[in-house]
Amino acid sequence: MRIGEIVETMSTGFVAESFELNRPPPLGSLVVVRLPAEAGETSSGMDLYAVVTYGQTVGLDPSRRAVRRSTDTVFDQAIYQEHPELNRTLRTEFGATLVGFFADGQLRQHLPSQPPPLHFSVQSASPEEVQRFTDRLHYLRLLLAPYGQVSPLQVLAANVREVYQQRDYDRVWLDTAAREIATLLKNDHEALLTVLYAIDPGESYDRSGGGEPT
Amino acid sequence: MNQKMLGLVVDGTFSGGLTARLNPGTTTEQLRIGNFVVVEGQRNRYFSLISDIHLKATDPRLLADPPRDTSPFIAQTLVGTSTYATVEVRPMLMLEKVDESDVDAVLGERTGPEPVRTIPMHFAELREATELDFATVFGKEGGTNFAMGTPLAMDIPICLKLGRFVERSNGVFGQSGTGKSFLARLIISGVIKTKVAVNLIFDMHDEYSFDKQTEDGHWVKGLRQIFGSKVLIYSLDEEMGRRTGRNVDVTLKIGLNQIEEADIVLLSEELNLRQTAEATIGLLRDAFRGKWLLELLKMTPEDLGDFCQRSGAHPASMAALQRNLKRLQRQEYVVDEASFSALDDMVEALDRGKHVILQFGRHNTVLDYVLVSNLVTRRVRQRYEEKMRRYEETKEVADEPRPLMITIEEAHKFLNPAVARQTTFGTIAREMRKYNVTLLVIDQRPSGIDAEVMSQLGTRVSGKLTEERDIEAVLTGVSNRSALRGALASLDTRQQILIMGHAVPMPIMMRTRQYDESFYRAMGARVGITRDAETDIRDLFGDQ
């Protein structure tokens, strides 16, 4: 499903404008940019995978801050019905950092040689793709590189939570990912705990999960 | 093959051993100090012992603030990642790798495991030893390889190379209750079965010949019952022979003429002798030669006075010496004069391949034991010395005396630093197998034995020891003591032993073999066959 269009691109990631106002893809979720054969460097086409690292909604003119629109009776969602022009003057952006690509039948978890082309579509990854991509966990290292305002640790945790859900609460995968993260953050106990607290499935997860292996 | 990976080698030195990081799935509780493990190098396989286990953390801050009330998820994640364990392993032997599929080639003699000359590189795998590894190192049962027991967690035999075992003097140690006499019986059975040596056993507590009740209440057979007429029973106690079903072949008497100065000196403590005794005995010997003891005991107070005047001996010490030595005369088995023929017959029986157990019966005080054992052994060794000389002259194979293993208990009485230089046992232990005579020393306080003797022991078999000095003593002259020290202290009291030395390729902890019906059968016991007079005569006097 197409969810956005690339408006800024670089080797480490891209910024895309979301098709839906105020609804960027979930933080940490896996998105994909599909390059046809002629656009990519390979003959068979290429799928670039990226993890959403932030979302934001701003006015079209970055120099002008949004102004207050609510009244005593009109607030929240009603503002958008009262002011339909907001759908034109506001835009929602999200950033994503590249974590790998699929080309020539091979899944690689490192940066592609070329950034994705501007104006190409960004799609959300299907559960099967998420499953296939996250079977290996080397991409977690790329997520730890600093980018943007959101703490990499939070993005990492968000990604693990997302994937855990999309993998149907695969507890084995979660344990493996947690150990991988523990290895990555072996020299920083506090950072490690930050992530672990954020991805701890705890009791509530178990109940909502349903697919949880007992 | 079912190989359990334990970890990877990450550090190490040739002199200090290797450090391996444990795999996250391996807990330290699975491992024991002294366990036999294998490091798979690229070219060589290293048979090693675990010498130490460390707990570590990647970030020291974790240790300052351990997660207390965290969820199981976090705790479980930290285990084996942020917190981990390393083991120190000590390569003991190495073996060049060959094609594993050909089991016979692996077990075959090829080159066999060799002393360690290299160490493996980083990331060599550490794994549990398999049955094949044990068989490679310790050999198969059969020939002079005698199965002593099994590894602690496996069910395959670990063999003692008895041929090598009897080449040196050996020791069996362990604090009381660790089954030293069972262990000795096991080893002696093996020696009898494989015929690598004949045995002379000084059986202080009547444990070796006939049935004996174990501490857990059931009865086990003695060597006579297992091996029948191959084992001759000598006894000091006349009453022993009268007990039904416990035939004694010879009742031994000791003559006062056979007791020498050295025997008395050895008994200083038991006989309450003074410092001056040795000098007084010297004077007596000068005057009466071999009959000094007899003469001394016969003296009346007047005779004593005369002798003191003539020789210049101190009257009070003479009187005290006589008083104290009268104790010897009062022992039932001591007669005024005895010939050495009984002992010489015994040596001949040994030479015919019989094994001799000398029982002490009711005469089981330290005084009896030390006196008789030392005296008998001195005679036996003299005869062996003569035989050895004859053999050196003739160089006939038939003249070579059979290797003899003498078993003594309470060994520190004979081998403590104060007397080890004077007793026959001390001589035997030091000169090793020069005259084909070796010792099997059984003791619960190895620290009481002279260090020089300890260092001459070829193979040491030890049950649990807790006293630091005893552990040190058992490990005298052994390399890589740290691993073994931990192992010795961690043995169970029952059935677990550590063997190291000449008869095993590397030190190993094991569970000893059961001493039961199947063992008797394996030893070829002739259970239920009655003996007739003719075999008795033949056993005693040989085929004439």
CA distance between the termini of chain A? 33
Contact map slice: B 41-60 vs A, CB within 8 A? 58-59
pLDDT band per the 50, 70, 90 thresholds, residue A212: very low
Q: CB-CB: which of B62, B74, B78 is closest to A200? A: B74
At residue A107, the pLDDT reads 93
At residue B101, the pLDDT reads 61
- Pairwise CB contact (< 8 Å): B58 & A193: no
Say whether pLDDT at A214 is over 50: no
Is A63 part of a structural domain of the chain?
yes
Mean pLDDT of all residues in A114-143: 93
Q: Summarize pLDDT for B98-155 with one digit per residue, the tens.
A: 766 666 655 554 567 888 889 999 999 999 988 888 888 888 888 888 888 888 877 8
Q: Which residue has the higher pLDDT, B385 or A203?
A: B385
Is A110 part of a structural domain of the chain?
yes
The SS3 assignment for B78 reads helix
Q: Summarize pLDDT for B202-222 with one digit per residue, the tens.
A: 988 888 888 777 767 778 888
Bridge-based pairing state of the strands B17-22 and B83-96: antiparallel
DSSP line for B439-502: EEEEES-GGGS-HHHHHH-SEEEE-----HHHHHHHTTT-SSHHHHHHHHHHS-SSSEEEEEET
Mean pLDDT of all residues in B40-53: 90
Phi, psi at residue B351, to the nearest 5°? -70, -25
Say whether pLDDT at B164 is over 50: yes
Split into its structural domains, chain A has a count of 1
Say whether pLDDT at B2 is over 60: no
Q: Summarize pLDDT for B339-368 with one digit per residue, the tens.
A: 888 888 888 888 888 999 998 888 888 888
Q: Percentage of chain A with pLDDT > 70?
A: 92
- Pairwise CB contact (< 8 Å): A189 & B62: yes
Size of interface A-B (CB pairs under 8 A): 44
Is A214 part of a structural domain of the chain?
no
- CA proximity to B249, closest of B235, B265, B268: B235
Asked whether B235 and B241 are in contact (CB, 8 A), the reply is yes
Is A166 part of a structural domain of the chain?
yes
Distance in Å, alpha carbon of A57 to nearest chain B alpha carbon: 35
At residue B280, the pLDDT reads 85
- Pairwise CB contact (< 8 Å): B67 & A193: yes
Mutate to test the interface with B, among A173, A174, A196 (most CBs of B within 10 A): A196
Per the structure, the complete domain to which residue A64 belongs is given by 2-209
Token pair, residue A42, equals: 């390979």
Q: Percentage of chain B with pLDDT > 70?
A: 92
- CA proximity to B272, closest of B326, B311, B314: B326
Q: Summarize pLDDT for B434-474 with one digit per residue, the tens.
A: 788 889 999 988 998 888 888 888 899 998 888 889 888 88
Say whether pLDDT at B370 is over 80: yes
- Pairwise CB contact (< 8 Å): A182 & B77: yes
Q: Which residue has the higher pLDDT, A53 or B313?
A: A53
Q: What is the mean pLDDT of chain B?
A: 84
At residue B526, the pLDDT reads 55
Q: Which of A12-16, B346-350, B395-399 has the lowest mean pLDDT?
A: B395-399
At residue B529, the pLDDT reads 46
Mean pLDDT of all residues in B488-514: 86
- Pairwise CB contact (< 8 Å): A202 & B62: no
At residue A205, the pLDDT reads 46
Token pair, residue B387, equals: 């035989």
At residue B381, the pLDDT reads 86
Q: Which residue has the higher pLDDT, A97 or B286?
A: A97
Is A62 part of a structural domain of the chain?
yes
- Pairwise CB contact (< 8 Å): A187 & B24: no
Mean pLDDT of all residues in B401-413: 87
Say whether pLDDT at A206 is over 50: no
Is A54 part of a structural domain of the chain?
yes
In angstroms, the Cα distances linking B177 to B174, B202, B469, B514 are 8, 20, 19, 16
Sequence letter at residue A214 = T
